[in-house]
Every structure is written in C-alpha cells, then in structure tokens.
Amino acid sequence: MKDLFSVAGKVVLVTGGSRGIGLMIARGFAENGARVYVSSRKKDACDAVAAELSKTGTCFSLPADLSGEAGANALADALADREGALHVLVNNAGANWGAPLAEYPDAAWDKVLATNLKAPFFLTRRCLPLLEQGATAADPARVINIGSIDGLMAPLLETYAYSASKAALHHMTRVLARKLAPKRITVNAVAPGPFESKMMAATLDRFRDAIVSSCPLGRIGEPGDMAGIAIYLASRAGAYVTGAVIPVDGGISTCS
C-alpha cells in the first residue's frame, strides 16, 4: 500500500506554488520524497518557499510570469535545463476578478483567461517532451489542472471571468486527456471548494460561517485534503484515471 501511493523520486512542477493551494500541494510532494519545483511571479516568494520546503524534502525555486505564452515557454525551457524528465505538472497558478455585471471590464477577461486557461495550455504543450520522457505504460506522466467548484456550479459572487475560465479548464482537461493518452500522459482536474488562501481570504473573512454551514462536511478544506488528492493522482494509485474532474469541496457541489 505504501508503494501504491508513493511519489518518491518523481520530478514535480507546481505553478502558483508559493502560497495557498499550490503551496499545500508542493509541500505534500516534497515531504513525501518528490523533487519539487515551485513557480510563481515573485522570485523572493519562490526562493523563501523552496528554502522552507528543503528543510524536510527537496525543493527548488523557478520563478516565472505565466500571463503570456512567452512566460510559459520560458518556464518549461528553464526546467528542461535542469531535468531530463518531468513526471507531474500541476497547473495551479490562477487569477480572479470580481465586479458587478454592469461594470465588469474587458481587462478582467483578458487577465483571468490568460492566467487560468491559456497558461495551462501553453505550459502543458511546451512540457510535453519532458512529460513523455517521464512516462511509462505502468506509471504515466501526470498533468493535474487546478479548477474550481465555481466551474461546476454558479457562484454567488460576481466573478464572471473566473467561473467561466474554470469551467473551460475542466473541459480542456477532458480534451487533453483524450489527446495525450496515447503518449502515456494522464490529464485530470481538481475542483477545490473553500480553502485558506490569499484568493479566498476576503470571501472567508466575510462569509466563513455561511460557507461552513452550507458545506455538508461542515468545515473549510485543510492542506492535507489538497495534498492528498494530488498525491493520489500522481501516484500509481491514480495511474488509470484520466479525464476526471474531482471536486474536493466537502460536498458543496452536490447541493446545487
């Protein structure tokens, strides 16, 4: 059973890995023997996380701006300079924007879709040679896209571009899963509910009690919940799963 869920020795790249859900995932991989690269726009934040996680595992800083295709390509190329294979790509970097319907700006759509949808596509494409090198029939390479329950159900907040981008990311996950299966690469999405993160901080400050009361399991997500699903999908236990969108939300999405 220990071997079934092992990620020891795997090379893992986590975008948006310096805080929130990305950090939860990066920490889980590092503490369980993976060789982890964390990426975000801010070099100082990446360096600090890499230093922290290296106390209990192996972690490196690889900062990048994923707001455009050039940044995604540069990140993949920088990883290729350091590693000959990639076993797990976690597309977690994301952006959000809230505004009333009548005021929702064009700039919001450009920023949010570029980060949440285009960046995972371009980074996955550029990483394909490394992923193919890390893939075997028994243990495929993995792409794990971090979506949201806002892409599964209509959110109460006016985050139009965010919810649309996450729904699109879920479907792109299925499309890529079918396309990349012959290359021995699985593609799955995780749809988190409420977790402690900078992106969720303002919402939790205002609506924590209501969110907890609406959750069938009666709590906010914890770091181990997010690390656990990522490790499952990346380990041999998840080797035959592809094209799935898995809610990790305490049952909230079942209530819509």
What's the pLDDT score for residue 163? Answer: 97
Residues 107-163 pLDDT 10s: 999 999 999 999 999 999 999 999 999 999 999 999 999 999 999 999 888 999 999
Burial of 115 (0-12, 13-18, 19+ CB in 10 A): buried
Q: Is the pLDDT of residue 196 over 90?
A: no
What's the pLDDT score for residue 197? Answer: 74
Residues 37-84 pLDDT 10s: 999 999 999 999 999 999 999 999 999 999 999 999 999 999 999 999
Tell the CATH superfamily of the 11-247 domain.
NAD(P)-binding Rossmann-like Domain (3.40.50.720)
Farthest-apart Cα atoms in the chain, separation? 54
Residues 28-50 pLDDT 10s: 999 999 999 999 999 999 999 99
Of all residues in the chain, the percent with pLDDT exceeding 70 is 100
162 classed as catalytic: yes
Task: List residues bridging with 81 in a β-sheet.
Answer: none
Q: What are phi and psi of 82, to 5 degrees?
A: -110, -25
Closest CA to 139 of 10, 2, 1: 10
Residues 202-243 pLDDT 10s: 777 777 888 888 899 999 999 999 999 999 999 999 999 999
- Specify whether the CB–CB gap between 60 and 83 falls below 8 A: no
**Dihedral angle sign, alpha carbons of residues 159, 171, 110, 143:** positive
Q: Is the pLDDT of residue 199 over 80?
A: no
Identify the band that residue 18 occupies on the pLDDT scale cut at 50, 70 and 90.
Answer: very high
What's the pLDDT score for residue 1? Answer: 72
Residues 37, 160, 162, 240: which is the catalytic one? Answer: 162
- Contacting residues for 175 by C-beta, under 8 A, at least 6 apart: none
Q: What average pLDDT score do residues 84-102 get?
A: 96
Q: Where are the domains of the chain?
A: 11-247
b/e 126-153 (16+ beta carbons within 10 angstroms → b): bbbebbeebbeeeebbbbbbbbbbbbbb
More confident residue, 204 or 179: 179
For the record, the structure tokens of 108 come out as: 């919001």
- Specify whether the CB–CB gap between 60 and 37 falls below 8 A: yes
Q: What average pLDDT score do residues 176-183 get?
A: 98
Task: List residues bridging with 11 in a β-sheet.
Answer: 35
Identify the band that residue 106 occupies on the pLDDT scale cut at 50, 70 and 90.
Answer: very high
What's the pLDDT score for residue 31? Answer: 97
- Give all strands (DSSP E) within 87-224, no chain letters: 88-91, 141-146, 185-192
Identify the band that residue 2 occupies on the pLDDT scale cut at 50, 70 and 90.
Answer: confident
